[in-house]
Amino acid sequence: MIPPEIAITVRVNERDYVERVAPRLLLSDFLRHQLGLTGTHVGCEHGVCGACTVLLDGAAVRSCLLLAVQADGARITTVEGLARDGEPLHPVQEAFREMHGLQCGFCTPGVLLSAVELLRDTPHPDDATIRRGLAGNLCRCTGYQNIVRAVRRAAELLDRR
Amino acid sequence: MKPAAFEYVAVRTTEEALAELARDGQDARLLAGGQSLMPILNMRLATPRRLIDINRVGELAYIRAHDGGVAIGAMTRQRAVEKSALVARCVPLLADAMPWVGHFQIRNRGTIGGSLAHADPAAELPAVAACLDARVTVRGPAGTRTLTADQLYWTYLTTTLAPTEILTEVWFPAAPSRTGHAWLEFARRHGDYALVGVAAAVMLEEDSVAEARLALTGVGARPVRARDAERRLVGRRPDDAALADAAERVKQVTEPQSDIHATAEYRRHLAGVLTLRALRLAVARARQAPPVTT
């Protein structure tokens, strides 16, 4: 027997959605397939790679380790919510562009959202803090050097705002 | 890797969760932070018929001073424990170990009760509980009972909880004065489960050891208290010879298993090295430790 779908209300990137979801639908798949927000990338689907990281009520979490139904009533920010189309980039995005903090870009949305919380908690991180804060996001292209530089640069840009 | 179909219910109180468990028993799983259960479901290593989501049980999320220690509700997020000033002041070993639990994104969601009940012998929190003689509160159809770590842990990923019971709270005693603590572990990558982890607590009296506690992860089917090594330290001056003697004893009594990550021999070596370092750090901290009040 297929368990019945459940109605949920979520606020994603400041927009309200009322949707019906199967209990087993992962939040990552809900965002991508049901809402069409494909900026959230799916890597390992067991919480290791960090590609699917989103902000849930302001906290960085793995969206592959949450059920969509658990997000009922929550506020979610995906990479699409950092800067709307036509608006200037978020300072963290701007810093990654400037410092070449990405290559293929697959891990980037998760890295950006982890960096947002890291810099909110620690506005002036040293390199060790940045590396520890990004340890939960795997990148196979960059070797991380430019990602660390980009987060350092993002701290400067956020300071100026 | 998507979970198999299941029924889902979100409960709001412990009573409701107990009623759901009483009805479904073996076929249901409690969903706490989900940072261990969700990967297991995604990989279909488990296919429960029903999930009982306890994330909205607000009465199980708290950190408060209680009975000469700190009581923490099972659904308290690990990140909240990590940031708690009360925990940092009164249970420094827990504060020391917390940043080693997964990554901060995992700790944002993972709960203290979930980690204790998951009973991974490589995990930090069960070893911290074993080291400090924490008390775990369990509620079930027959009422409430209180367990030590030794009574809670059975073997790999297995506790002595009945399928109808819920771990609701853990209580840690406040650190006594003149006591130093240290958590050290070695993992191949930060955030991975450690090959070996060591929790150490040393209480000094006139610069000799009044009490010592040692607990290890990754060297057995459950968190291991090295009681024989602890006893050898009591009454001795905590110089390097005494600490090395205790570390050697830890190596002799641990019987780790080999797996793809490390041989038994290498784990035993790590257990000795980390025990020595953790004891040194705990002794140094004990010499500086201010009196503690909750």
The residue segments making up the domain with residue B28 are 7-53
B1 inside domain: no
pLDDT at position A21? 98
B101 inside domain: yes
B259 inside domain: yes
Mean pLDDT over each residue of chain A, to the nearest integer: 97
- Residue A61 at interface with chain B, using a CB cutoff of 8 Å: yes
- pLDDT band for position A158 (50/70/90)? very high
CA A69, CA A155: separation in Å to the nearest integer? 35
Residue ranges covered by each domain of chain A = 6-81, 91-160
pLDDT at position B290? 66
Average pLDDT over residues B121-126: 96
Q: Which of B53, B71, B91 is the last residue of a domain?
A: B53
pLDDT at position A2? 83
Is the predicted pLDDT of residue B6 greater than 90, yes or no?
yes
Return the CATH number of the domain spanning residue range A6-81. 3.10.20.30
Q: Which of B173, B201, B220 is the last residue of a domain?
A: B173
pLDDT at position B291? 59
CB B291 within 8 A of CB B179: no
State in Å, rounded, how far the first CA of chain B is from the last one.
Answer: 46
Average pLDDT over residues B130-138: 98
Residue of chain A nearest B55, judged by CA positions = A70
CB A110 within 8 A of CB A51: yes
In terms of domains, do B117 and B205 share one?
no
In terms of domains, do B83 and B33 share one?
no
SS3 assignment, position A6? strand
Of B253, B264, B153, give the one whose Cα is nearest residue B218: B264
- pLDDT band for position B253 (50/70/90)? confident
CATH fold of A91-160: DNA polymerase; domain 1 (1.10.150)
pLDDT at position B294? 53
Interface test with B, best of A46, A53, A65 (most B CBs within 10 A): A65
- Residue B252 at interface with chain A, using a CB cutoff of 8 Å: no
Is the predicted pLDDT of residue B292 greater than 60, yes or no?
no
Cβ-nearest to B53 among A46, A70, A117: A70
In terms of domains, do B46 and B63 share one?
no
Is the predicted pLDDT of residue B206 greater than 80, yes or no?
yes
CA quadruple A146, A147, A150, A152: dihedral, nearest 10 = -110
CATH number at residue B115: 3.30.465.10
In terms of domains, do B47 and B150 share one?
no
**For residue range A95-135, what is the model confidence (pLDDT) as tens digits?**
999 999 999 999 999 999 999 999 999 999 999 999 999 99
Task: Report DSSP state, residue B138.
Answer: E
Q: How far is CA B210 from CA B204, B216, B294, in A?
A: 5, 21, 22
CATH number at residue B278: 3.30.390.50
**Contact criterion met (CB < 8 Å) for B1 and A45:** yes
SS3 assignment, position A90? coil
Q: How near does any CA of chain B get to the CA of A65, in Å?
A: 5
Task: Report DSSP state, residue A67.
Answer: B
- 3-state SS string for B197-256: EEEEEEEEECCEEEEEEEEEECCCCCCEECHHHHHHHCCCCCCHHHHHHHHHHHHHHCCC
In terms of domains, do B121 and B166 share one?
yes
Is the predicted pLDDT of residue B7 greater than 70, yes or no?
yes
- Residue A70 at interface with chain B, using a CB cutoff of 8 Å: yes
B192 inside domain: yes
Average pLDDT over residues B73-96: 98
What is the Rg, in whole angstroms, of the alpha carbon atoms belonging to chain A? 16
Average pLDDT over residues B147-169: 96
Average pLDDT over residues B273-280: 98
B125 inside domain: yes
**Contact criterion met (CB < 8 Å) for A23 and B4:** no
B293 inside domain: no
SS3 assignment, position B273? helix
In terms of domains, do B87 and B47 share one?
no
Q: How near does any CA of chain B get to the CA of A91, in Å?
A: 21
B294 inside domain: no
CA B51, CA A83: separation in Å to the nearest integer? 36
**Contact criterion met (CB < 8 Å) for A46 and B39:** yes
Q: How far is CA B94 from the centre of its chain?
A: 8
Please give the order of strands across the beta sheet that includes A6-12: A15-21, A6-12, A75-77, A53-56, A59-62
Is the predicted pLDDT of residue A16 greater than 70, yes or no?
yes
In terms of domains, do B192 and B107 share one?
no
Q: How near does any CA of chain A get to the CA of B28, in Å?
A: 14
CA B214, CA B204: separation in Å to the nearest integer? 15
CATH number at residue B42: 3.30.43.10
- CB neighbours of A18 closer than 8 A, spacing ≥ 6? A7, A8, A9
pLDDT at position B191? 78
B20 inside domain: yes
In terms of domains, do B236 and B270 share one?
yes
Cβ-nearest to B8 among A23, A47, A59: A23
**pTM of the predicted model as reported, rounded to 2 decimal places:** 0.96
Q: How near does any CA of chain B get to the CA of A46, in Å?
A: 5
Task: State the total domains in chain B.
Answer: 3
Is the predicted pLDDT of residue B293 greater than 60, yes or no?
no
ipTM score here? Answer: 0.96
Average pLDDT over residues B224-238: 97
